[in-house]
Chains A and B, each alone.
Chain A
Amino acid sequence: MTASLDLAESLGLTADEHERIVATLGREPTKAEIAMYAAMWSEHCSYKSSKIYLKTLPTEGPRVVMGPGENAGVVDIGDGLVAVFKIESHNHPSLVEPVQGAATGVGGIVRDIVSTGARPIAILDPLRFGALDEWRNRWLLGGVVAGISQYGNSIGIPTVGGEVQFDPCYRGNPLVNVLCLGIGRADRVIRARAERVGAVALLFGNKTGRDGIGGVSVLASRPFDSEAEAKRPSVQVGDPFAEKIAIEACLELAERGLLIGLQDLGGAGLCCATSETASRAALGMEVDLDQVPLREDDMEPFEILTSESQERMLAIVAPEDVAEAVAVCARWGVTAVAVGKVTEGDLVVNRRGEVVARAPARSLADEGPTYHRPARRPEWLDELRARDPLALPAPDDLGAALLDLLASPNICSKRWVFEQYDSLVQHGTLAGPGGDAAVLRVPGTGRALALSTDGNARYCLLDPRLGAAHAVAEAARNVACSGARPVSVTNCLNFGNPEDPGVMWQFAEAVAGMGEACRALATPVTGGNVSFYNQTEGENIHPTPVIGMLGVIEDASRALGIAWGAGRAVALLGETRAELGGSEWAWATHGFAGGAPPSLDLEAESRLVDLLASLAERELIESAHDCSQGGLGVTLAECAIASGIGAILDPATDLAPHAWLFSESATRAVVTCAPERLDDVLRTARAAGVPAAALGETGGAALEIRGVLRIETAALARAFEGALPAMLGA
């Protein structure tokens, strides 16, 4: 074995991949080149196991300005403005070092949004942890939340939503996904391209140090074992103040029209930013590492190239604009130096007067390997699917069962988490954490944007195709419940080890289901992130695709919340079937994860989503809340808790009471309206092809479902709000 191959393999490249590099270069690669290829061809950067599937997703639509392949998805929202959004994972770093792992996850996605010239206006964090009865999971939760809080709050972007879910499958592998939304001008969207020969590559922000080397290859693209702690030096350390001033500098550079291209330095650092910007423009770049401001002078070329030190940006600037760009950065206290020049040749890297790497930029950024990995339906699935949730014993006391469910880890209030986040800065938060979707005013317009993140991993375990479709449908429904029309999707696909055929099958199925749902709901995918190797000690996580759905509300004053008023008529839209497979009730009460997830008719979902948005636009309804985890019982309880107002309702069903209360049948929502408008609402729903029924009326201090349960709203709130602090001993 050659020394070159030895090094390549230690950095995660295979012998075949090494051979491919030799063929590309026509010679043995240098040490720096091996490190560059190892980083760029890592699963994390190259999507080598996933791209054949991702290609099948719908990515085009009338509103899509920029789709996958750029720093973030860009969607037209009218008035000459665009919404820019993307979700990313920072799972492995957060296991190794939860505070910094989560903090730098926030920092990274925020820079992606800023790279398009947009001002970030919101952050959402879908999080997954193991069960809270283990101290380590409580520690991880506390650390991750502290990291998001410290970083997000310091940079002045409101954290307005997300989810927190628990399952033993995340015990050795928590998920930390972060979505960021920005607003920019349609005529000034910046691309991550080095478009002009002779243009200068300006590196600005923090200095480059030895932190995060191997982040994409060592941390993100391999399964974990008990040596995880030893990988701590591969986790980057965040400096939110450096990020804040870099953001302001970027936005001023964009505002002044000084940018040809802009890209953040994230995974694979300078190597990725230079090769990707050059490759997208089908050009090359001459890079001088001697100009890079270093924390330690003796850093080797490969370290400078692949360092993942945070808060750094690479701007492509016309030579005549360099002085002004450097001055803008200086005013914000940000150091900017020219480190390269765009050329027509290869990516050429110099250090101390010597060429340390020379390779075609596209061979690094775009010509990495593609794998068709074996995929096979796991045999254990049959046994899980054969379990019958309707055979589970029905509860004797449905009121007590509902209170238990409200206090269960996945359903209970996450106030302990979201009160640690600044959800108010930028004065645009029309609906913050705790509702169906976050709703944000679009500054300077009458519009608002709605955002929701959703993903039910238990459904995906039982049926990854259907489960992923559910994630899209639920996210669309959530957005529609706030009065918005869903417009597009970003996704974070968290899966186990792709070298396991069972995992690869889950992935293929999930992407197929997601594509079907996105097509049916006319919500194209504008970007996202794949996180494989979520496997620790041989245990894969459940397949966990998380969907971020963006919706537009044309008139912000018509946005809806989940809280209902007193004396309002309550109606249920959609049909309730006895569907307890994969349900939260079955899991929380019986530890049961089996059967088939609820069925999903995407056409019906599309009708419901349209109906909700038009009922809101016509001001026929005053509140809306979707039915999902925990079923109708939890939906009604949450409406009562949010408003402090009870209701008297009639079930009018042939189902067993517990099935009616806890079934997770999809495509349903609870809406309220003025009593005199009830007929109009029901008629409109039926005309739209959506089943609708009156449930009763709001008012009083208790939620009463005749013949089923009666609970004071204060008692519902105590169960719901008290549970998480109690579990954390806080």
Chain B
Amino acid sequence: MARYDGRVKIGVVQFPGSNDERDAVWAIERLGGSAELLWHGDRDLRGADAVILPGGFSYGDYLRCGAIARFAPVMAEVEEFARSGGPVLGICNGFQVLCEAGLLPGALARNGGLKFICRPQPIRVENPSTVFTRRTARGRVLTIPIKHGEGRYITDRATLATMEARGQVVFRYCTPSGEVSAAGNPNGSLDGIAGVCNEAGNVLGMMPHPEHAVDPAVGAGSADGALVLGSLIESLAGARA
């Protein structure tokens, strides 16, 4: 267990089949936070100020993605934490788990092109006032990689209208110049949706991987993910001060 040293502390859940949990820990630490892994079988968040559900293929995702992970013992704690206003970020598989757990509306279906896609992806900030986006601005284009086979966001029109009205659509896929269009939509998501939050704004799910865009030397060559994770760390530090 990481020693508590006054830094904000973020718990990253490790399900069997999680792949990006160490990447999330690494990214948080690089940005000045402290992070530790939370075991799926423990009903204990170990005093975390925020929780990340990481990418991967929890339990192999042989059923619908995230459908088994939502029943993991730790998820009961995560749900309670989320309902009491604690910040929860689901990335990729974590987004799928949050939808399956009913903490976020909608679902994630197989990509329109039926193939896994791994590439740097421009996304546009639609709501900069969440704890995850306060360091960004409305309309700002971030380049953050996607890597998923089932990331096509779907929901019904009525729900979408409510979400729009409440500012729950946080990110949309776009072209490099910021245009939300078929050309900028990699997986056929409804209205180009790449990330959504709950009504209270404390639970965010996103398919792009901010933890893979904090060091421009690796991977996508972008550090825009630091704006998302940095917003969270800054918000937590501010809340504590």
Which single member of A156, A420, A556, A557 contacts B118 (CB below 8 Å)? A420
CB-defined interface of A126-170 with B at 8 Å, one 1/0 digit per residue? 000000000000000000001001100111100000000000000
B176 CB–A CB distance under 8 Å = no
Smallest CB-CB separation from A440: which chain B residue?
Answer: B218
Binary per-residue interface labels of chain A (224-265) against chain B in the complex, 1 for a CB within 8 Å, 0 otherwise: 000000000000000111101100100000000000000000
Contact B60 A422, beta carbon cutoff 8 Å: no
- Most chain A beta-carbon contacts within 10 A, residue among B56, B57, B211, B218: B218
Residue of A nearest to B58 (CB): A241
Assess the A423–B118 pair: CB atoms within 8 A. yes
Asked whether any CB of chain B lies closer than 8 Å to the CB of A441, the reply is yes
- A688 shortest CB reach to chain B, Å: 29
Name the B residues within 8 Å of A557 (CB-CB). 217
Task: Tell me the bound Cα distance from A347 to B96 in angstroms.
Answer: 49
The answer, yes or no, to whether A392 is at the interface (CB within 8 Å) is no
The residue from A154, A239, A426 contacting B23, defined by CB atoms under 8 A apart:
A426
Across the interface, do B60 and A241 meet the contact criterion of CB distance under 8 Å? yes
Q: Which of B13-21, B43-51, B166-174, B193-201 contacts A (4 or more CB under 8 A)?
A: B13-21
Give A154 to B17 CA distance when docked, in angstroms: 7
A556 to B147 CA separation, bound complex (whole angstroms)? 25
Contacts of B23 in A (CB 8 A): 425-427
What's the least CB distance linking B41 to chain A, in Å? 8
Q: Taking CB as reference atom, which chain B residue is nearest A145?
A: B115
Q: Mark A392-435, 1 if CB is under 8 A from B, else 0.
A: 00000000000000000000000000111111111111101000
Residue of A239, A240, A432 near B219 (CB, 8 A) is: A432
A333 with B215: CB separation less than 8 A: no
Given A424-B220, A428-B218, A432-B219, CB of A153 within 8 Å of CB of B147:
yes
With A241-B57, A244-B57, A419-B118 as given contacts, are A424 and B219 in contact (CB-CB < 8 Å)? yes
Residues of B within 8 A of A423 (CB): 118, 219
Q: Name B145's closest neighbour in chain A (CB-CB).
A: A424
Cβ of A245 and Cβ of B20 under 8 Å apart?
no
CB distance from B145 to the nearest CB of A (A): 6
Name B180-224 residues within 8 Å CB distance of A: 209, 211-212, 215, 217-220
Do A424 and B57 have beta carbons less than 8 Å apart?
no
**Interface size bracket, B side:** 20 to 34
Neighbouring A residues of B61 by C-beta, 8 Å: 154, 241
Which of chain A's residues 427-466 have a Cβ closer than 8 Å to chain B? 427-430, 432, 441
Q: List the B residue with the shortest CB-CB distance to A428.
A: B218
Q: Which residues of A contact B219 (CB under 8 A)?
A: 423-424, 427, 429, 432
Give the Cβ gap from B89 to chain A, nearest Cβ, in Å.
17
Which of chain B's residues 5-64 have a Cβ closer than 8 Å to chain A?
16-20, 22-23, 26-27, 55-57, 59-62
Q: A424 touching B17 by the CB < 8 A rule?
A: no
| Complex interface residues of chain B between 111 and 170 (CB less than 8 A to chain A) | 115-119, 145, 147, 149
- Return the contact of A426 from the options B17, B22, B209 (Cβ within 8 A): B22
Q: Is the CB of B57 within 8 A of A154?
A: yes
Asked if B147 and A241 make an inter-chain contact with CB atoms under 8 angstroms apart, the answer reads no
- What residues of A have a CB within 8 angstroms of the CB of B220 in the complex? 424
Closest to B209 in A: A424
A600-650 residues with Cβ-Cβ distance < 8 A to B are none
A248 to B26, CA, bound (A): 18
Decide: A333 and B16 in contact? CB cutoff 8 A.
yes
Determine whether the beta carbon of B16 is less than 8 Å from that of A245: yes
Most chain A beta carbons < 10 A, residue from B16, B22, B55, B211 = B16
The number of residue pairs between A and B whose CB atoms lie closer than 8 Å in the complex comes to: 89
Residues of B within 8 A of A430 (CB): 217-218
**CB-nearest residue of chain B to A421:** B118
A156 in contact with B116 given A240-B60, A424-B209, A429-B219 (CB within 8 Å): no
- Contact A425 B19, beta carbon cutoff 8 Å: yes
Instruction: Specify which chain B residues have a CB less than 8 angstroms from the CB of A245 in the assembled complex.
Output: 16-17
> Which residues in B have their C-beta under 8 angstroms from that of A421?
116, 118
Contact B118 A427 (CB under 8 A): no
A302 at the interface (CB under 8 A from B): no
Output the nearest chain B residue to A157 by Cβ-Cβ distance: B19
Q: Kindly provide the distance from the CB of A500 to the nearest chain B CB, expressed in whole angstroms.
A: 39
Contact B212 A424 (CB under 8 A): yes
* Cβ–Cβ < 8 Å partners of A426 in chain B: 22-23
A592 within 8 A of B: no
Closest CB in chain A relative to B62 CB, distance in Å: 7
Known: A156-B19, A245-B16, A429-B219. A422 touches B118 (CB 8 A): yes
A425 cross-chain contacts in B, Cβ below 8 A: 19-20, 23, 55, 147, 212
Least CB distance from B8 to A in Å reads: 21
Q: Is the CB of A427 within 8 A of B56?
A: no
Most buried by B among A419, A421, A441, A557: A419
Cα distance A150–B27 when bound, in Å? 26
Q: Is A332 interfacial (CB 8 A cutoff)?
A: yes
* A242-B62 Cα distance, complex, nearest whole Å: 11
Contact at B217–A156, with CB atoms within 8 Å? Answer: no
B60 closest partner in A (C-beta): A241
Contacts of A240 in B (CB 8 A): 57, 60
Question: CB-CB < 8 A to B20: which residues of A?
Answer: 156, 425
- How many angstroms between the C-alpha atoms of A424 and B18 in the bound complex? 14
Residues of B within 8 A of A242 (CB): 60
A219 to chain B, nearest CB (A): 26
The answer to whether A156 touches B56, judged by C-beta atoms less than 8 angstroms apart, is yes
Interface string of B92-111 (1 = CB under 8 A from A): 00000000000000000000
**Is the pair B218, A427 in contact by a Cβ cutoff of 8 Å?**
yes
Closest to B215 in A: A427
User: Which residue, of A153, A418, A421, has the highest number of chain B Cβ atoms within 10 A?
Assistant: A153
Give chain B residues whose Cβ lies under 8 Å from the Cβ of A441: 218
Q: A156-B19, A245-B16, A424-B209 are in contact. Are A429 and B118 (CB under 8 A)?
A: no
14 inter-chain pairs at a CB distance below 8 angstroms, sorted by A residue, are A150-B116, A156-B19, A156-B56, A241-B59, A242-B60, A244-B17, A244-B57, A421-B118, A424-B145, A425-B212, A426-B23, A427-B23, A428-B218, A430-B217
Nearest 7 CB-CB pairings of A with B: A241-B60, A156-B19, A424-B219, A154-B57, A427-B23, A422-B147, A424-B212
Give me the interface of A with B, judged by CB distance under 8 Å.
Answer: 146, 149-150, 153-156, 239-242, 244-245, 248, 332-333, 418-430, 432, 441, 556-557
What 13 additional pairs, Cβ within 8 angstroms, besides A153-B149, A424-B118?
A153-B57, A154-B60, A156-B20, A244-B16, A420-B118, A425-B55, A427-B27, A427-B211, A427-B212, A427-B215, A441-B218, A556-B217, A557-B217
